[in-house]
């Protein structure tokens, strides 16, 4: 279901359980730490990114009514599917044209050769970048247990949708705002 709000009470119960020792609780502690980050309604974790040109930017420097973070891996079949769904969405494309939606595709890993080989897979109107110092991974800013992952942010970078792969849901959220 990828719903942290439903998972958090389960994790808290596992951590409080008298039937598990401290080592058995470690995976639950980690999952809880990740579930509590970037929650819906809270500010998203900021990070720097680097584009193919070498230019750098920061998530919070992106100015738009909505920002869609698309955490992706090169050559990933599901990432391609999500990209195609976004590209096929009249609503999202209209928003991109009006510049009310900016899409930041971010590659969090270190195989830049693979990333460079797939740079052209994404539309030029999207910000296609990588995490040069792998800060997202090293500081565990975002949960990377499943890629692809979408995070929809408002103009103030508050999370509207977290760890989502449902493009229809993203459309629904922006239409409700």
Structure confidence at residue 112 (pLDDT): 92
Structure confidence at residue 143 (pLDDT): 85
CA distance 78 to 140: 22
In sequence order, which residues have a C-beta less than 8 Å from that of residue 122 and are 6 or more positions away?
83, 105, 128
- 100-109 pLDDT, tens digit per residue, is 999 999 999 9
Structure confidence at residue 131 (pLDDT): 96
Positive or negative, the Cα torsion across 31, 41, 107, 48?
negative
Structure confidence at residue 2 (pLDDT): 65
- Cross-strand partners of 106: 71, 129
| Structural domains of the chain sorted by starting position, each given as residue range(s) with its CATH number in brackets | 1-36 (no CATH), 40-176 (3.40.30.10)
In sequence order, which residues have a C-beta less than 8 Å from that of residue 11 and are 6 or more positions away?
28, 31, 32, 35
Question: pLDDT 10s digit of each residue in the chain, 177 long?
Answer: 567 888 999 999 999 999 999 999 999 999 999 999 999 999 999 999 999 999 999 999 999 999 999 999 998 999 999 999 999 999 999 999 999 999 999 999 989 999 999 999 999 999 999 999 999 999 999 988 889 999 999 999 999 999 889 999 999 999 886
Backbone phi, psi, residue 29, to 5°: -65, -45
Structure confidence at residue 3 (pLDDT): 77
Is residue 50 exposed (0-12), middle (13-18) or buried (19+ Cβ within 10 Å)?
A: middle
Structure confidence at residue 77 (pLDDT): 95
């Amino acid at each position: 279901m990828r719903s942290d709000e439903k998972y958090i009470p389960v994790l808290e119960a596992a951590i409080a359980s008298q039937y598990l020792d401290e080592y058995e609780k470690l995976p639950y502690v980690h999952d809880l730490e990740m579930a509590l980050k970037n929650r819906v309604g809270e500010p998203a974790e900021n990070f720097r990114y680097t584009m193919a040109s070498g230019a750098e930017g920061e998530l919070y420097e992106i100015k738009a009514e909505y920002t869609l973070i698309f955490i992706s891996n090169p050559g990933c079949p599901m990432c391609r599917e999500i990209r195609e769904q976004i590209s096929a969405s009249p609503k999202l494309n209209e928003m991109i044209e009006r510049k009310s939606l900016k899409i930041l595709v971010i590659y969090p890993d270190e195989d830049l050769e693979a990333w460079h080989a797939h740079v052209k897979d994404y539309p030029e109107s999207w910000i296609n970048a990588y995490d040069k110092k792998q800060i997202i991974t090293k500081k565990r800013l975002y949960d990377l247990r499943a890629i692809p992952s979408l995070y929809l942010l408002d103009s103030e970078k508050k999370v509207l949708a977290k760890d989502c792969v449902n493009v229809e849901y993203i459309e629904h959220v922006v239409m409700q705002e």
